[in-house]
């Protein structure tokens, strides 16, 4: 099918790498250090990290805050924060040391976002219209332009301003989901490499969230293998799934071995709360989501809708189907989640990051229209 984008090479100017890096570091660091926790979740997350850093192996395997177990999420974010507190304790106070991990995870997620959009933008089906006498951008230049736009629009989303600076497991989930999308995109041209990254991402999400989110992302992957014919499911099963199982088992098995009674109770609560957390009445949560999601995901959602409409004949192509296959099950979780503020806050971050993959190229084309005189 003929491309819907008409763009010349002169319109695909990419930002310098150092500038993008500086923008991400500035965004991640401002408001991160030298402050009190913004809300109870932020304070509770730091409290669990501090307990781990000053505790024993039991506190590391069974996260707790003064004996109370936060069983809604896995321990990964707490492990990272506690490790940072221990490593930086001679030079940095505990609260600021724990937030170093927050900044690093945020920048890592931004890197996965950029490379995912870059790889999708280089694919043949995403290339702009080829003129009879040349003048269209090279795939590499076009991909960089789209990736720059994707990252900048992600940083502009209101939903990241608060959640992107907190010591909560949601940021690790955000980074893990970004890694998962990169793994799926990478598997299109390098199946084994992409499958390993995908498996690592599933393990990261499993260790930082709940079984329900892991099942949702597995459902996303299954949907993508059905929708996108270029995706090979076999490498994901052979190489990726064992990596995810090993990572999650590296926490579950030692916990059950060393602390069988408390470990069994903790894991049972983790499993049970995971499903009960997504068993709320859809009506009230849906109303809250409809009221707040447009603000949290601005300016990504108008561009996502524009991209979906514009690429009407190519919705099974990777650059459109990948974000669609990820966002579908996550939207269902938003409706079913019982705790309203968390549902909008943590899910919108992932959604913003998924939507931008398809809509950023339309935004780039739109920006270039006045200079090229063409119509997208």
Question: Contact 352/138 with Cβ under 8 angstroms?
Answer: no
Sequence-ordered list of residues with C-beta below 8 angstroms from that of 134, at least 6 positions apart, any chain: none
Residue 195 lies in a domain: yes
Residue 227 lies in a domain: yes
For 93-140, the three-class secondary structure string (H helix, E strand, C coil) is: CHHHHHHHHHHHHHHHHHHHHHHHHHHHHCCHHHCCCCCCCCCCCCHH
For 158-218, the three-class secondary structure string (H helix, E strand, C coil) is: CHHHHHCCCCCHHHHHHHHHHHHHHHHHHCCCCHHHHHHHHHHHHHHHHHHCCHHHHHHHH
pLDDT at 343: 34
Residue 304 lies in a domain: no
Q: Please, what is the Cα angle at 270 between 328 and 57, to 5 degrees?
A: 130
Question: Contact 113/183 with Cβ under 8 angstroms?
Answer: no
The neighbour count for residue 155, using CB atoms within 10 Å, is: 20
Burial of 91 (0-12, 13-18, 19+ CB in 10 A): exposed
Rounded distance, CA 280 to CA 17, Å? 44
Sequence-ordered list of residues with C-beta below 8 angstroms from that of 91, at least 6 positions apart, any chain: none
pLDDT at 369: 37
Q: What is the tally of structural domains in the chain?
A: 1
**Residue from 149, 209, 165 nearest 360 by CA:** 149
Whose tokens are 């049972």? That residue is: 268
Domain range for 174: 19-119+136-277
Question: Contact 141/8 with Cβ under 8 angstroms?
Answer: no
Residue 315 lies in a domain: no
Question: pTM above the 0.75 mark?
Answer: yes
Residue 367 lies in a domain: no
Residue 361 lies in a domain: no
What does the pLDDT profile of the chain (376 residues) look like in tens digits? 555 566 655 566 777 888 889 999 999 888 788 777 767 788 888 999 999 999 899 999 999 987 788 888 999 999 999 999 999 988 888 888 999 999 999 999 999 999 999 998 888 887 776 655 555 667 788 888 888 988 999 998 888 887 888 888 989 999 999 999 999 999 998 999 999 999 999 999 999 998 999 999 998 898 888 888 888 889 999 999 999 999 999 999 999 999 999 999 999 999 988 887 776 556 666 777 777 778 888 888 888 888 788 777 677 778 888 888 888 778 777 777 665 443 333 333 433 343 333 334 444 344 333 333 333 3
Residue 318 lies in a domain: no
Question: Contact 348/297 with Cβ under 8 angstroms?
Answer: yes
Residue 223 lies in a domain: yes
pLDDT at 371: 36
Rounded distance, CA 14 to CA 152, Å? 12
């Amino acid at each position: 099918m003929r491309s819907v984008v008409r763009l010349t090479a002169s319109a695909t100017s990419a930002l310098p790498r150092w500038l993008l890096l500086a923008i991400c570091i500035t965004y991640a660091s401002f408001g991160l250090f030298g402050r009190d926790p913004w809300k109870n979740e932020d304070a509770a997350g730091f409290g669990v990290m501090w307990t781990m850093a000053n505790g024993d192996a039991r506190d590391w395997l069974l996260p707790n805050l003064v004996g109370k177990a936060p069983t809604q999420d896995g321990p990964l974010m707490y492990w990272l924060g506690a490790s940072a507190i221990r490593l930086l304790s001679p030079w940095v106070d505990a609260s600021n040391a724990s937030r170093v991990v927050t900044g690093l995870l945020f920048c890592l997620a931004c890197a996965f976002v950029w490379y995912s959009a870059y790889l999708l933008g280089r694919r043949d089906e995403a290339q702009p219209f080829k003129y009879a006498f040349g003048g269209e951008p090279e795939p590499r230049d076009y991909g960089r332009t789209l990736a720059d736009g994707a990252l900048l629009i992600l940083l502009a989303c209101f939903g990241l301003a608060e959640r992107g600076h907190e010591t909560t497991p949601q940021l690790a989930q955000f980074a893990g989901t970004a890694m998962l999308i990169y793994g799926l995109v990478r598997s299109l041209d390098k199946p084994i490499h992409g499958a390993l990254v995908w498996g690592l991402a599933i393990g990261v999400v499993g260790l930082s969230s709940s079984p329900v989110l892991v099942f949702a992302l597995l459902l996303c992957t299954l949907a993508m293998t059905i929708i996108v014919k270029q995706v090979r499911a076999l490498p994901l099963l052979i190489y990726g799934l064992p990596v995810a199982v090993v990572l999650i088992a590296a926490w579950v098995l030692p916990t059950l071995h060393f602390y069988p009674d408390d470990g069994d109770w903790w894991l049972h609560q983790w499993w049970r709360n995971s499903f009960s957390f997504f068993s709320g009445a859809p009506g009230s949560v849906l109303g809250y989501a409809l009221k707040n999601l447009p603000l949290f995901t601005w300016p990504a959602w108008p561009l996502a809708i524009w991209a979906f409409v514009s690429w009407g004949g190519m919705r099974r192509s990777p650059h459109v189907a990948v974000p669609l296959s990820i966002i579908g099950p996550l939207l269902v979780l938003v409706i079913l989640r019982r705790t309203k503020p968390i549902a909008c806050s943590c899910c919108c971050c992932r959604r913003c990051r998924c939507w931008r993959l398809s809509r950023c190229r339309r935004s780039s084309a739109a920006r270039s229209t006045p200079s090229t005189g063409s119509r997208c």
